[in-house]
Amino acid sequence: MSSKGKATSFDIAYEAGVSQSTVSRALSGSSLVSLDTRRKIQAIAKQLNYKVDKNASCLRRQHSVTLALLLFEDPTPDDSLINPFFLSMLGSITRACARQGYDLLISFQQFSNDWHADYQDSHKADGLILLGYGDYLVARSTLQKLVEQNTHFVRWGAVVEGQPGISVGCDNLSGGRAITEHLLGLGRRRIAFVGSIGEQCPEFRDRYLGYCAAHEAAGIKVDPALQVDALDSTEQVGHQALANLLERGITVDGVFAASDLLAIGATNALREAGFEAPQQVSVVGFDDLPMASYASLPLTTVQQDTKLAGEVLVEKLLQQIRGEAVESVMLPAKVIVRRSCGARALP
């Protein structure tokens, strides 16, 4: 072994009295090498604490066995704040990668900037996972570019018709419908919808479409005045949105916020305006963040299965990398009943 620095396959070859090619074969478990020499080489490798140089190996094989996760979030005053929803997805993605033997590179991107998405071009990663909301119309053109550059990627988000690349998302429409039906079943008739419904945010729009579908199915006319815009999923925005609605003199006996964070803000606005939730007004959200159950008023919400989502995301990306045909997939959404809707008696 060379006096200092890492051992190379040549060092092992020397020790074992074989050629370097044989070492490389033995270490990759090739059955071409006799069991005896294979074992001998493996023992020496272990003793020398040899590790294959990934740069050399990847350069030669032309793939990196690494995936890159791009998290989009525009900067907040507090740097460290990440949307808790993506955070739980991150955990699942990391584990799924590990299970498949892939490493995971992670990078924060700002929607406003040009994406720094050259991981595949620079051979640092074999594919991209895109996470984070933002204006879909803006993102779309970049997605299109990625497709043209032949970049392997999957994104988390609404599955919309004719979209560039493939997406994994939750069934926002069914989820929105199910939770609205729940509210309707509770006898609520004036349910506010907090969330933008424009094209920039297809997931919110689908949730609203579910809201409308539930109303129609129940033979109740949707009152457009009950919908308020809210684009960013933050407590502040939710607070503001519902406060605006109430100021307009709109009466309300239910609130369906397009995300949990919006719901928490809306609940606060309600309280400030003198309404008691859930007695006077039922409140529900969407996402099922960890804090939804910890909130002072445990939140009834629609759960997105982040564990499954992460697994499916890496599975789809890997299929794509292997050259298989892949389609977008929609994951089920599930209503979680807690106290904020008033369905359960207070303890």
Partner DNA sequence: CTGAAAGCGCTTACAG
Which residues contact DNA (rule: CB under 7 A)? 5-6, 8-10, 18-22, 24-25, 27-28, 31-37, 50, 52-53, 56-57, 59-62
**In the complex, minimum distance from the CB of residue 142 to a second copy, in angstroms, rounded to a whole number:** 14
Which CB sits closer to a second copy, 154 or 295?
Answer: 295
Q: Is there binding between residue 336 and a second copy (CB under 8 A)? A: no
**In the complex, minimum distance from the CB of residue 51 to DNA, in angstroms, rounded to a whole number:** 7
Q: How far is CA 151 from the centre of its chain?
A: 19
Which CB sits closer to DNA, 45 or 97?
Answer: 45
Which CB sits closer to DNA, 33 or 262?
Answer: 33
First to last CA, the chain: 71
**In the complex, minimum distance from the CB of residue 271 to a second copy, in angstroms, rounded to a whole number:** 10
Q: Residue 109: in which H helix or E strand, if any?
A: strand 103-109
The torsion angles phi and psi of 62, rounded to 5 degrees, stand at 65, 30
Rounded CA separation 159/329 (Å): 7
Rounded CA separation 332/17 (Å): 58
Rounded CA separation 150/35 (Å): 42
Residue 243: count of CB within 10 angstroms of its CB: 18
Q: How many residues bind a second copy (CB under 8 A)?
A: 49
**In the complex, minimum distance from the CB of residue 213 to a second copy, in angstroms, rounded to a whole number:** 30
The single residue among 31, 122, 141, 279 that binds a second copy, judged by CB under 8 A, is 122
Which CB sits closer to a second copy, 215 or 338?
Answer: 338
**In the complex, minimum distance from the CB of residue 294 to DNA, in angstroms, rounded to a whole number:** 48
Residue 255: both structure tokens together: 């609130």
Q: Is there binding between residue 89 and a second copy (CB under 8 A)? A: yes
Q: Is there binding between residue 80 and a second copy (CB under 8 A)? A: yes
Q: Are strands 254-257 and 153-156 parallel, antiparallel or unpaired?
A: unpaired
Judged by beta carbon distances under 5 to 8 A according to partner kind, the member of a second copy, DNA, none in contact with residue 8 is DNA
Residue 94: count of CB within 10 angstroms of its CB: 16
The single residue among 123, 140, 189, 190 that binds a second copy, judged by CB under 8 A, is 123
Task: Give me the count of residues in the chain.
Answer: 347
DSSP label of 224: G
Q: Residue by residue, what is the 3-state secondary structure of 116-179?
A: CCCCCCCCCCCEEEEECCCCHHHHHHHHHHHHHCCCCEEEECCCCCCCCCEEEEECHHHHHHHH
The single residue among 1, 20, 37, 103 that binds a second copy, judged by CB under 8 A, is 103
Which CB sits closer to DNA, 62 or 113?
Answer: 62
Report 261-320 residues binding a second copy (CB under 8 A). Answer: 264, 290-291, 294-296, 306-307, 310
Judged by beta carbon distances under 5 to 8 A according to partner kind, the member of a second copy, DNA, none in contact with residue 66 is a second copy
Judged by beta carbon distances under 5 to 8 A according to partner kind, the member of DNA, a second copy, none in contact with residue 107 is a second copy
The single residue among 30, 34, 118, 187 that binds a second copy, judged by CB under 8 A, is 118
Residue 235: both structure tokens together: 């407590």
Q: Is there binding between residue 229 and a second copy (CB under 8 A)? A: no
Burial class (CB in 10 A: 0-12, 13-18, 19+), 80: exposed
**In the complex, minimum distance from the CB of residue 260 to a second copy, in angstroms, rounded to a whole number:** 11
Residue 102 backbone zone (phi > 0: left; psi -120 to 50: alpha; other: beta): beta
Rounded CA separation 152/314 (Å): 11
Residues in the site for a second copy, rule: CB under 8 A?
A: 6, 49, 51-56, 58-59, 64, 66, 71, 78-82, 84, 87-92, 94-95, 98, 103-108, 118, 121-124, 149, 264, 290-291, 294-296, 306-307, 310
